[in-house]
Each structure stands twice: as structure tokens, then as C-alpha cells.
Amino acid sequence: MKYFLYGATGSMWEVVEDLSSALGVKFEERDSSYKGGKYFLAHGEGLQEISVESNWEDEEGFAAEPNFKEYPILVYFNGVGDKAWCLPSGSRVIVLLRVDEI
């Protein structure tokens, strides 16, 4: 399985709307202190889940993804096959940051 991390600019809601429209998935709003508060989760065909989260910092200043601080929004594609997903760019920047394989 592969796990893709994308970085995005714009608001979290704009990124969720773009992804929902482009991929045909429905996101549910969730809340978790582990993920820095509000985040969005979707499940789609050929993957376990897509999570849209903020690249938040904890009380000690540690970011969720410290190597990618320039991206305020993180998009995790978890448990996908071998292909990178074609994501909408529009007015927001969505960039592939990392691929992990387990």
C-alpha cells in the first residue's frame, strides 16, 4: 500500500470542495485534538481514506509536518494503489510532498 501526502494553500473548506468535486467523494467534518481540531475525512473507491487537515502547531511549536510548513493544509491519501492521484489545482496549489510505501 502507498500513502501520499499533498500540501495545499487556500482555506481548508476550499480544498475540501475542490477534492470532493474532482474525485466524487463526500467529506465528513470531524474534530480531534490529535489532529489539531477540525479536519475532514472521506472514503473513496480504491483507497482507505482521504484526510484534509491543517498543518497545525502544538503548544510547544511542533508542526504536524515540520518539513512542509509552507503548506497550511495537508491532504493525506491513505492506503491507495500505485498511482499518484490527479488533483485539481485551480486557484489553490496542491502539491505532492511525499510518498510512503508499506
pLDDT the model gives residue 60:
84
Task: Give 33-64 as a DSSP string.
Answer: GGGTEEEEEE--TTSSEEEEEE--B-TTS-BS
CA 37 to chain centre: 14
For residues 2 and 16, the answer to whether their CB atoms sit within 8 Å is: no
pLDDT at 54: 94
- Which residues of the chain are modeled with pLDDT < 70? 44-47, 80-93
pLDDT at 2: 79
pTM exceeding 0.95: no
pLDDT in the model for residue 101: 84
Read off φ and ψ for residue 58, nearest 5 degrees.
-80, -175
